[in-house]
Amino acid sequence: MSPPQLVQLMESVETINQRLEDHYGTTDDGRPIFRVVWSDEQVEKRIVTHLDSGVELLYPEPREVKKYPYIRALYVLERLVLVPEVNQKELLGLKTSYEPIWTFCDAHRNPLPPIWNAAKLVVDTLYAALGKASLVKYLDVQNTPEAREKRITELETELFGNESSVTDALTYKEGVTVPSNFVKSGE
């Protein structure tokens, strides 16, 4: 499945990736530290012991396989990491690999478009957890309950989209919409 062309996509994936590269940098060989990719397009070469059909091979062999068979049709925020030495043999000696840190989906695994603010928040939170940075810039300037509630609501909307019972019912074709200009017959 190819990436959807979402109308609500504010910035293109290329623009978000450029911003990630500009903000968080690249390696010596020019690869970005963070990137957003479409899960179904990612493949990797690894040593496998079984075929896709489940048949066990007599001898393990290198094959190109889907990187995220468990993440279907979603945008993924990846981070370039060092491959632990014990896993390098399985990945044919690869020393670095992009690994998922966030999928752009709601609580029901419905796809959401990648958003710069959400990607930045996830990366900044990861760095803060590693002790590399602080989340001070995300503190509310106005420390009132109303201001805090507003900021939380904005972040939830950016990260998880609209997950009301009405939109869920419409998504699963269990809801009915009534147009605003509807006139009941006999009136």
Q: How far is CA 38 from CA 7, 29, 34, 42, 71, in A?
A: 17, 23, 14, 7, 10
Helix ranges (DSSP H) in the chain: 13-24, 85-88, 116-129, 145-160, 165-171
Query: Which residue(s) pair with 59 in the sheet?
Result: none
Q: Distance between CA 173 and CA 15 in Å, rounded?
A: 34
Query: Which residue(s) pair with 61 in the sheet?
Result: 48
DSSP letter at 149 equals H
Query: In 3D, which of 17, 10, 44 has the Cα closest to residue 31?
Result: 17
Q: What is the pLDDT along the chain (187 residues), one digit of tens a residue?
A: 666 654 444 689 999 999 999 999 999 899 999 999 999 999 999 888 888 888 999 998 998 989 999 999 999 999 999 988 888 788 777 889 999 999 999 888 999 999 999 999 999 999 988 888 756 665 555 667 887 788 778 777 777 766 666 666 666 667 677 776 777 776 5
pLDDT of 43: 92
pLDDT of 94: 81
pLDDT of 163: 65
Taken as a whole, the chain contains a residue count of 187
Query: In 3D, which of 141, 124, 143 has the Cα closest to residue 133?
Result: 124
| Statement: the pTM of the whole predicted model exceeds 0.75 | no
pLDDT of 2: 64
- Residue ranges covered by each domain of the chain: 13-134
Phi, psi of 155 (to 5 degrees): -65, -40
Q: Distance between CA 141 and CA 92 in Å, rounded?
A: 50
Query: In 3D, which of 14, 35, 10 has the Cα closest to residue 96?
Result: 35
pLDDT of 42: 94
Query: Which residue(s) pair with 80 in the sheet?
Result: 98
